[in-house]
Amino acid sequence: MHPTFVEIDLQAIRQNILNIRQKVQPAEVMAVVKADAYGHGAVPVARAALEAGATRLAVAHVTEGAVLRQAGITAPIQLLGGFFPQQLEAIQQYQLECTLCNLENLAPLQAFAQKNNTNLPVHVKFDTGMHRVGFAWQQADAVFAELSKSTGLQFIGLMTHLASSDACDKAYANEQLARFHSVVSKAKQAGLHIPYIHAANSGAIMDLPEAHFNLVRAGIAMYGYYPSTETSESVPLQPALTWRSRLLQVKNIQAGDAVSYNGIWRADRETCIGTVAVGYADGYNRQLSNRIHAVVNGRRVPVVGRVCMDMILLDLGPDAQEKAGDVVTLLGSDGTASVPMHQFCQALDTIPYEVTCMISKRVERKYVG
């Protein structure tokens, strides 16, 4: 067993979903569990979210949807990341709802549906300003004219994605929403009845109630983090993940001694160095060298020297009482001391999404709650 592990509090997931539901009601909540639930574990997180009242799930790739189906999960699952025609057999096999982003994929969809005598559930995505995937919002009339002639497809969702809902300045998000409202109106004018209208990601859940429509997509908020420092905290959230490891060894070093590769840190006094069983192979980024703290026995101590592939070093201080086997908290809380996510992100110049996703598969996931 690898000594590095993350604890996932499933009750925190449930409570976050309940709080999000209260914020957006009567809209439904789609729980986004792509990327193995942002590193938290897709199957247990999906189950917890559904138990708390989420009605739908979302993934990025067919294989992610397959994992959920093979685990016995029967809730609707949307494939957010588009699709290739060669994937349609698997999409049907695992009963996934695909996202149609361009007319090139319309003919293969119809042909597959007709060949298999089925109606394929489809969400239609419009690009209102993100400029990744989706139909151009300006072409809505032409797109809906084509879709209204299609056969074998069940249009169940109309969607867009907001590029800056987590920014303090909501001008661009509001511009996108205005464009999307025009798309929704044109769908109705074309005679298309599409049950679900969705645009809100976590930032919009917090701050843009006009984006909630009748379905929201809860991603990072479900895991207990706000999408940026610029969003409000209008929904109470509890981080679900705590990352821990253990001390491998504690040793004394003298003033002037250098530690780890290239000696980028030297002791300015006699001290105790604790070696921890975690490194960049576990997703503990090398850029954290000399930039972050960890918590041991309820006290914060600095990470010193280069982060190695499998180990990091802590300056425990000259009077350290720690010993091999003691638990080290890398991210999260231990008693009253903590390494909060915002400090982790600041040290890496990144966002919570990347931090949880970068924790590697060799780190054991333990579930509580």
The residue from 23, 34, 170, 186 that is catalytic is 34
Q: Which helix (H) or strand (E) holds 203?
A: helix 202-207
Whether 188 is a known active-site residue: answer no
> Which residue, among 200, 187, 147, has the nearest Cα to 21 in the 3D structure?
200
Give the type of residue at 164: S
Q: Which structure tokens are listed for 99?
A: 């996202």
Alpha-carbon distances of 357 from 32, 163, 205, 292, 293, rounded to whole Å: 13, 20, 22, 19, 20
> Measuring CA to CA, how many Å separate 19 from each of 8, 197, 285?
18, 21, 32
**Integer Cα distance of 288 and 165 in angstroms:** 29
CA 138 to chain centroid, in Å, comes to: 30
Q: Which of 225, 118, 230, 135 is nearest to 173 (CA)?
A: 230
Residue 102's nearest CA partner among 139, 74, 76 is 139
Mark whether 367 is an active-site residue: no
Which one from 188, 251, 261, 366 is the annotated catalytic residue?
261
Nearest alpha-carbon partner for 155 in 180, 184, 102, 192: 192
Task: Determine the Cα–Cα distance for residues 150 and 170; give it in Å rounded to an integer.
Answer: 37
Query: Is there a contact between 5 and 365 (Cβ–Cβ < 8 Å)?
Result: yes
How far is 124 from 228, CA to CA, in rounded Å? 28
Per the listing, tokens 């909501």 go with 170
Q: Which residues are catalytic?
A: 34, 261
